Chain A
Amino acid sequence: MPACHHWRGLELGRAEHGVSDMAALWLSRASTQLARRAARRLPAGRGSGEPTTSPWFLGAVPPPALGSTAAVETSRRRGFCSVRRFAGESSAAAATVVDEEPENGFVASDQQAVHFPGGKVSFVAEMNFLPDSMKERINCYRVLDDDGRTISGSRFQEVSKELAVKMYSEMVTLQIMDTIFYEAQRQGRISFYLTSNGEEAINIASAAALSMDDIVLPQYREPGVLLWRGFTLQEFANQCFGNKLDYGKGRQMPIHYGSNRLNYFTVSSPIATQLPHAVGAAYSLKMDKKDACAITYFGDGGTSEGDFHAALNFAAVMEAPVIFFCRNNGWAISTPTTEQFRSDGVVIRGQAYGIRGIRVDGNDALAVYSAVHAAREMAITEGRPILVEALTYRVGHHSTSDDSTKYRPVDEIEHWRTARDPISRYRKWVQGNDWWSDAEESELRSRVRKELLQAIQVAERMPKPPVADLFTDVYDKIPSNLCEQEQLLRDTIMKHPADYPTDVPV
């Protein structure tokens, strides 16, 4: 069995640590400066006990007004310590520029260091550029090996038989749902579909580690999270067929699910827009002192949008209990991650924002479950964001509008579809525990299939939402321009009924 696997062309060391190990490792590696910063931002009473003196802490002394002499002085110094040193002056000369008691984090310095907002910065004589990357890629937490056996020494969150079997069943259900809805689109019965093939463990195991009070802000390849929370196959079918029982009232394309009851914000097509929302939602949970966090999902492509930066930075500064869950599946439509970013994936970027993170094998249900479980705990009890990067692969085409064989090798797809399939790996583990049998497997598959076909039949027969719903929800109440337009439309429908679909009640 290989010790690591190739992922987008690079070797990834496999970390065989439990979650707490990982956290400990991270902490011990972090510099004292980082640790101090982390301690300082804990609210009074929870961490150090002392209210912070940093002027940049929320609600503390504001920075000096621009234009005041102090501000001018300070900003001059701020920029110039380092610049002068590059110009060849001695570090001592540069350091002594700062010599008075600060009001803003610029503490009087000694010869070797400057106190700069965020902590002490040491001076060195060498001109050291930070390297563009670390020598080794960040390793990847894993519990189950390729044969579904727990890796010796691996630490993970225990799951009961009941939970384990439920997770497995839901992964299978998601897979069947994808197969049948995909086929329904091919047959022209729904206009669009998009599968989560290959990402079933991410979907189900991450959902299983959350509580129902946690708020989910999805991208679009996470219907399994909603399935886990109790969205029925009928509810999925209603949305895809845009019938009158669809909560979105037939207004959005298929797969744009949402449920207030299940704390699952409605999917929006624009990429990454949900990330800053998640921070706001998390901040609200924190203000309400809820025992809950927000979690937002996004792809590798989504991390390139400005909203990704905005969200991570806000989350760090606001100390929001939010889990950023990146499904790094190697592709954004036809764009491989090598053309998306040159960092070591996504998890590394958390550090630059002051956000703790972990990379996890996204095709290992137990690893995903354990990582999210621990992330949730830290997010809520410590009031902080956590970044999770799950390595996986988009086994299906991007959507029914895409043919991925145009831009990626078929054997790459096949490899991930078979050798790395998260469902069969997890099944081996469940079955290895004697928690699952072949008989139960075929019973489950035929039951889900039957239920789904039934749901599709019902959804397809159900009328569309009425014309009146075209005009509601634009605002809380219908404004006069829309009242007028509704009347005009109704007149037109009366005059030209053949122009309009018969399954939309007028």
Chain B
Amino acid sequence: MAAAKALREVARTRRGSWAAVVGRRCLSSGSGGPAAERKEGGGGGAKAVNLFTAVNQALHIALDTDPRAFVFGEDVGFGGVFRCTTGLADRFGKNRVFNTPLCEQGIAGFAIGLAAMGNRAIAEIQFADYIFPAFDQIVNEAAKFRYRSGNEFNCGGLTIRTPYGAVGHGGHYHSQSPEAFFCHVPGLKVVIPRSPREAKGLLLASIRDPNPVVFFEPKWLYRLAVEEVPEEDYMLPLSEAEVIRKGSDITLIGWGAQLAVLKEACEDAAKDGVSCELIDLKTLIPWDKETVEASVKKTGKLLVSHEAPITGGFGAEIAASITERCFQRLEAPVARVCGLDTPFPLVYEPFYMPTKNKVLDAIKSTVNY
């Protein structure tokens, strides 16, 4: 194309910073290399797949194992804008897998009604940034359906999947991490996986859990995170945190995409002789205080990290609870390395983010407190 050529000839004096940012994100969530290498393991196969494929597998299994399961949302029919629903409509038909009108409050409300009739309603909100029109339905309806009726009715079959978090070039409305809003709502569960294997097992558990679940998927990892995922149907327990690295000097806790950053920080800290214990919280409410408490009682120090703005983030809740439970054992104030108290900014994304080096600095100052 002539325009393309002419444009290429315009000297490139400056590299777009967004491209640089995308390249900078560290990813070491899984052992697997790219694409599908097959390993024969114990029961059934496991393939190295990325996170959107793992989600897709979970949805296939959910629809396959329960004839009363439905998958729907904006653009899910052709596979979804992140390819998570690819092949579902072909396999299970348009009555069970379908596009909805562009209306998040409608998606959530419809899903609640469907779930209340004893179905598994698996709704997709295209971006977590667009979940707010559905906020009333989720907060005032889904979360209170059981309680307000004395368990005459419930919508426990409801699962809302939605991609969240930074992606390098998303700006205000394709980057937010709104999990804390939902953690303030008794009656909901909030689940966030860190990797493909986790995503599949936690999503299946969320779908089958008899409570409404908001399931945030780290969209940065959809393509980038690759690891071996068992092909069979399996679930990982909700409300159980996992110690994914043992250590003795400080406890680090996070969820979702931020785990990859924390992992790198642990490795770098180890080079400086600091031994970090790393915990993936996985379920934010109701959360596994015991695991975190046990770890902090051992290390005497805690660092919490998330992408969402620091003020009122879920890190604040963890800090308060652990201070209550471990006050005598804490040797330093709980550190929080989080997003800034600004809207999510495009060109400033690298400044906004809770980067590995911000985490490392906080580890050092906490350990040396």
Contacts and interface: CB of A to CB of B under 8 A. Distances in A.
Contacts of B351: 467, 470, 489, 493, 500, 504
B75 A270 contact: no
A250 B171 CA distance: 9
B24 A253 contact: no
Nearest to B74: A335
Contacts, number: 179
A270 B6 contact: no
B10 A456 contact: yes
A492 B102 contact: no
B163 to A, nearest CB: 13
A252 interface: yes
Q: Of residues A335, A481, A503, which shows the largest number of chain B Cβ atoms within 10 Å of its Cβ?
A: A335
B200 to A, nearest CB: 24
Contacts of A362: none
Interface string B166-187: 0001111110000000000000
A449 B12 contact: no
Nearest to A482: B341
Contacts of B258: none
B159 interface: no
B346 A252 contact: yes
Interface in B329-349: 340-343, 345-348
Contacts of A401: 81
Given A253-B170, A269-B173, A334-B78, A449 B13 contact: no
A465 B350 CA distance: 14
A503 B17 contact: yes
A457 B11 contact: yes
Nearest to A402: B81
B350 A500 contact: yes
A192 interface: yes
Secondary structure class of chain B's binding surface, majority of residues: loop
Nearest to A492: B358
Given A301-B102, A499-B357, A504 B17 contact: yes
A131 interface: no
Interface in B60-119: 74-75, 77-79, 81, 98-99, 101-106
Nearest to A179: B3
The 10 closest A-B pairs by CB, nearest first: A250-B347, A269-B173, A304-B101, A501-B17, A191-B169, A253-B171, A301-B102, A191-B18, A407-B78, A496-B357
7 contacts: A179-B1, A242-B347, A252-B171, A253-B346, A453-B6, A461-B14, A501-B20
Interface of B: 1, 3-4, 6-8, 10-21, 24, 74-75, 77-79, 81, 98-99, 101-106, 129-130, 132-133, 169-174, 310-311, 340-343, 345-348, 350-352, 355, 357-358, 361
Given A183-B7, A304-B101, A467-B348, 15 more contacts: A180-B3, A183-B3, A183-B4, A188-B19, A242-B347, A250-B348, A251-B346, A305-B102, A305-B103, A332-B102, A334-B78, A453-B6, A464-B347, A492-B357, A503-B14
